[in-house]
Structure 1
Amino acid sequence: MADWHLAQVNIGRLIAPPRDPRVQPFFDALDRINALAEASPGFVWRLKGEGNNATDIQATPDPLLIPNMSVWADAEALFDFVYRSAHTPVMARRRDYFERFEGAYQALWWIPAGETPTVSDALARLWMLERFGPSPHAFTFKTRFPAPGLGGAPVDQASSLWPDPWCVGNA
């Protein structure tokens, strides 16, 4: 799979503006979690704005909607970071900082190795996933598609093995 990397996007709408005490613990954890991602096996790239994270990138007209994008060697590397690292307890507190999101808020897709995804492309992938469901163009951890050229049907993982990353700890 060295010819392909896995891109991911997730978005969330903050419950309050940055620097508000209600969301400050989220912002306080960003540098540590981003450093953990960058040191993780299989990490390739992450979206950064002027503040060394993506929270200052206004991807939509809504100033409280923030994007998170990264690229990984494969789905297993991303899964290990999301569910088997110090990222997991921070992610489990998502509902403390973000509104419940209606619609698709996370998408995965394959990109040629060396390519950098754009925020516009990521938002289009979210729209495709919401509109048409999982496909080779935009999919989820639960319904993963193989990298182009590998053939085969999508992998439909049991939700207990590949949980929704935003629902961990939020039944």
Structure 2
Amino acid sequence: SDSGNATDVPVFGDDWLIVNMSVWRNAEALTAFMYAGLHRELMSRRREWFEQVREAMTALWWVPAGERPAVADAEERLLHLREHGPTERAFTLRTRFPAPTGVR
């Protein structure tokens, strides 16, 4: 957010939701970060801090180099994933799609 506080970013109009967005060069770099070191250690304790949710809460998609996606983009992609399952428009780490031409 402009304030520098990640909890200030509104998502789905719900003050209790916290959005976490990041752009990675590729899925392998994201996977390496997620499952290594301190992040892995902290994520193993996520049930202490977050409610368990049954529907998809994470969506991945390819972003053209130099572009910065907005929260509205993430909301739309997540809703698409929930409604249609993994597609080229929104997917998961388990069900990936290759980057389209011109996207790295």
Q: State the TM-score, normalized to the length of structure 2.
A: 0.90
Residue matched to 2:57? 105
1:142 aligns with 2:94: yes
Structure 1 residues without counterparts, runs of 5 or longer: 1-47, 151-171
Residue matched to 2:67? 115
Local SS of the residue matching 2:59: strand
Q: Whose strand proportion is higher, 1 or 2?
A: 1
Root-mean-square deviation over aligned CA pairs? 1.5
Which structure is larger by alpha-carbon Rg, 1 or 2?
Answer: 1
Task: Describe the shift of the 1:140–1:77 C-alpha distance in structure 2 as closer, same or farther (beyond 3 A).
Answer: same
Cα deviation, 1:85-128, whole Å, max 9, x if unaligned, reads 21111111111111111311001100100000010010111001
Structure 2: which amino acid aligns with 1:133?
Answer: G
Cα deviation, 1:33-82, whole Å, max 9, x if unaligned, reads xxxxxxxxxxxxxxx4523x522212232211110000011001111111
Q: Whose helix proportion is higher, 1 or 2?
A: 2
User: Among residues 21, 27, 32, which one is paired with 1:75 in the alignment?
Assistant: 27
Q: What percentage of residue pairs aligned between the two structures are identical?
A: 52
1:84 aligns with 2:36: yes
- Aligned counterparts, 1:54-73, within 5 A: 54-73=6-25
Q: State the TM-score, normalized to the length of structure 1.
A: 0.56
Structure 2: which amino acid aligns with 1:112?
Answer: P
Cα deviation, 1:119-158, whole Å, max 9, x if unaligned, reads 00101110010100001100000000000029xxxxxxxx
Structure 1: which amino acid aligns with 2:98?
Answer: P
Structure 2: which amino acid aligns with 1:139?
Answer: F
1:133 aligns with 2:85: yes
Tell me, yes or no, if the aligned pair for 2:12 and 2:75 is still in contact at 8 Å.
Answer: no
